[in-house]
């Protein structure tokens, strides 16, 4: 399960917006997809997406799981 609170803490700690984070993570759905992920409105994500989010935040994918 994703630790969405940690994802948002890390993003805010980097001082970047959701849109900027989505660009760094190469999310095709942009800010809206990022928002859907952190609000739990997206039914699961692929491992590739998890790894992209982690890379954008400067952590390992396992660090974003509860």
Domain ranges of the chain: 4-60
Of 44, 42, 35, the closest CA to residue 65 belongs to 44
Q: What is the SS3 assignment for 2?
A: strand
pLDDT at 9: 97
Domain 4-60 has CATH 1.10.260.40: yes
Give the Cα separation of 47 and 66 in Å (integer): 15
pLDDT at 59: 98
pLDDT at 49: 94
Q: Is the pTM of this model over 0.75?
A: yes
Output the tens digit of pLDDT for each of the chain's 66 residues.
Answer: 899 999 999 999 999 999 999 999 999 889 999 999 999 888 788 999 999 999 999 999 999 998
């Amino acid at each position: 399960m994703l630790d969405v609170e940690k994802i948002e803490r890390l993003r805010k700690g980097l001082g970047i917006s959701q849109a900027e984070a989505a660009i760094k993570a190469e999310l095709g759905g942009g800010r809206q997809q990022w928002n859907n992920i952190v609000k739990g409105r997206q039914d699961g994500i692929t491992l590739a997406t998890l790894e992209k989010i982690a890379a954008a935040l400067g952590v390992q994918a396992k660090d974003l799981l509860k």
